[in-house]
Structure 1
Amino acid sequence: MKEGPDIARVAALLGDPARANMLTALMGGKALTATELAQEAGVTPQTASSHLAKLEAGQIVIPRKQGRHRYFTLSGPDIVEALEVMMGIANRVGHNRVRTGPKDPELRRARVCYDHLAGDMGVALFDGLSKRKLIKTDLNGVALTDAGVDFANGFGIDLAALRQNRRPLCRECLDWSARQSHLAGSFGAALLDRFYDLGWARRMSESRIVRFSAEGEQKFRELVGD
């Protein structure tokens, strides 16, 4: 028997259609109940509980109890990144599920991927920071440059605090809708939080959509060099 990570088990947990729908719903970073996840997956509460038990046993989701309610969240940002990569592959090879509706263009434009900016504007942010030489990409991954450190400090982001946690500061995440990279990691999350704090953007209620104000979008375009 071969030694090493059992990717087949993880793939099986992520690959079931009902579980995939549940995990996609959790990509927005919000904790959801089993009932809410059952609705997202289109299954009965009993079936949802069975799926969630498997995901919990596989350490894909984490349960959190508050009062009489039990909520579920993804176990970490790496799960989101894996889901985004699989979405990109599915999109590239033509395995798409068509969902019509007015929200779709907004989701493609700007949305939350766990806790960082994704969609066309997320890709623009990654490209803009790269062109301004604030981040660099090499065989070791994505990292802040010296100019990027100065930018972060001037933009009101506490890098010292971000470096205290074990999460990577910068990480490249494949955007499933644009099929290009957006910026993940603690710095990517801090940037989106800063956009909220500055009033440039806000997250729409009960949705992954991030909507920029006219002034906020102008400031964002100046930031990325458009």
Structure 2
Amino acid sequence: MCPQPNIASTAFLIADPARANMLMALVAGRALPAGELAYAAGVTAQTASTHLAKLLDGGLVTVEIEGRHRYYRLSGPHVALVLENLAAIDPVAPVRRRPLGREAQNLRFARCCYDHLAGQVGVAIAQALQLRGFIVPAADKRFDVTPAGTAWFRQLGLDMDRLRGTRRGLARQCLDWTEREHHLAGPLGVQFMSALCENGWMRRVSASRVVQVTPVGWAGLKAELGIEGRLGELTQGR
């Protein structure tokens, strides 16, 4: 007899309203922490933890650990497809999101994560670097730098030969805690951030982790990476 898929078990996991809301919050593809998923589901942190354990056991979500934080995402596009098809039968209500204050908005847009660039700008730059073939994702949450990428970073003033000698590797993927996507970290990320500031593209706000993009920086990002800033939002050319 051919083995049968355990549809009932998967359907049971999705059928719970709290778990369904958590899963729909993850459909966009970003990884989210348990606290944000608890808010989206309207449950306590303890209840959310129980639900997430069941979703993990059922193979619907995976977890990624970044420092002390745990971020959850759908286990694959096949899960998103199932959820979208179910939502098409009976459209769901909008996912609950926490409102952001002005300082939180500024931090989300661009900030220092330790000594490298994070936030929407940091993620947009990492994606543009991949789009142009300057960096490529590798195993163990690393980025490999291509020959074209090495040449590009050198023209910005980075000493790529010295950076390649570091023990922890040249570049790594750091999961952004606001965008839930990866930005560029590691020795390359640190020196890249320094070069952006030295070249006048970015400036750090005193007594804050907020980073501002200068007019020169916006011009450079558009010319070099196709990134354009408009009214606090980012657009990226292809």
Q: Does structure 1 retain, via aligned residues, the 8 Å contact 2:197–2:203?
A: yes
Contact persistence 2:112–2:118 (CA under 8 A): yes
Aligned residue number for residue 218 of structure 1: 219
Which residue identity does 1:195 align to in structure 2? L
Q: Does 1:133 align with 2:133?
A: yes
Name the aligned partner's letter for residue 152 of structure 2: F
Task: Please give the alpha-carbon distance, in whole angstroms, between the structure 2 residues aligned to 1:193 and 1:81.
Answer: 23
1:132-181 deviation digits (Å, cap 9, x = unpaired) = 10001133531101111111222210012212332321100111111111
Instruction: Specify the code of the residue in structure 2 equivalent to 1:126.
Output: A
Once the two structures are superposed, residues 2-57 of structure 1 have per-residue CA deviations (whole angstroms, 9 ceiling, x without a partner) of xxxxxxxxxxxxxxxxxxxxxxxxxxxxxxxxxxxxxxxxxxxxxxxxxxxxxxxx
Partner residue, 1:50:
none
Q: Secondary structure, in 3 states, of the residue corresponding to 1:160?
A: helix
Q: Is the 8 A contact 2:172 2:186 kept in 1?
A: yes
> Aligned residue for 1:146?
147
For 1:61-80, list aligned pairs within 5 A. none
Cα distance in 1 for residues equivalent to 2:72 and 2:111: 19
Query: In 1, are the aligned partners of 2:116 and 2:189 still within 8 Å (CA)?
Result: yes
- Is 1:111–1:209's contact at 8 Å kept on the other side of the alignment? yes
Map of 2:123 onto structure 1: 123
Equivalence for 2:108: 108
Matches within 5 A, 1:94-105: 101-105=101-105
Residue correspondence of structure 1 range 1-226 to structure 2 within 5 A: 81-83=66-68, 85-86=69-70, 88-89=71-72, 101-139=101-139, 141-226=142-227
Conserved? CA contact 1:134–1:144, under 8 Å: yes
TM-score by length of 1: 0.56
Q: Which amino acid aligns with 1:109?
A: F
Structure 2 residue matching 1:142: 3-state secondary structure: strand
Return the alpha-carbon distance in structure 1 between the equivalents of residues 162 and 221 of structure 2.
24
- The 8 Å contact of residues 174 and 182 in structure 2, kept in 1 or not, is answered as yes
Kindly indicate whether the alpha-carbon contact (under 8 Å) linking 1:112 and 1:208 is maintained by their aligned counterparts in 2: yes
Residues 127 and 224 of structure 1 are in contact (CA less than 8 Å); yes or no, is this contact kept in structure 2?
A: no
Cα RMSD (Å)? 2.5
Query: SS in structure 1 opposite 2:212?
Result: strand
Which ranges in structure 2 are unaligned for 5 or more consecutive residues?
1-64, 74-95, 228-238
Q: Please tell me the residue identity of whatever aligns with 2:187.
A: S
Q: Residues of 1 paired with 2:171 and 2:72: CA distance?
A: 22
Shift in alpha-carbon separation, 1:89–1:204, aligned structure 2, 3 A: farther
Q: Which has the larger radius of gyration?
A: 2
Task: Assess if the C-alpha contact under 8 Å between 1:128 and 1:223 holds in 2.
Answer: no
TM-score, L = length of structure 2: 0.53
Q: Distance in 2 between matches of 1:112 and 1:218?
A: 21
From the superposition, tell whether residues 212 and 185 of structure 1 become closer, same or farther in structure 2 (CA, over 3 Å): same
**Partners of 2:122 and 2:115 in 1: CA distance:** 12
Amino acid across the alignment from 1:156: G
Residues 207 and 81 of structure 1: CA distance in aligned 2, closer, same or farther (over 3 Å): farther
Matching residue's letter, 1:197: E
CA contact (8 A) 2:200 2:216 kept: no
> Which of the pair has the greater relative contact order for Cα pairs under 8 Å at 6+ separation?
1
Aligned residues: 140
Give 2:34's aligned residue.
Answer: none
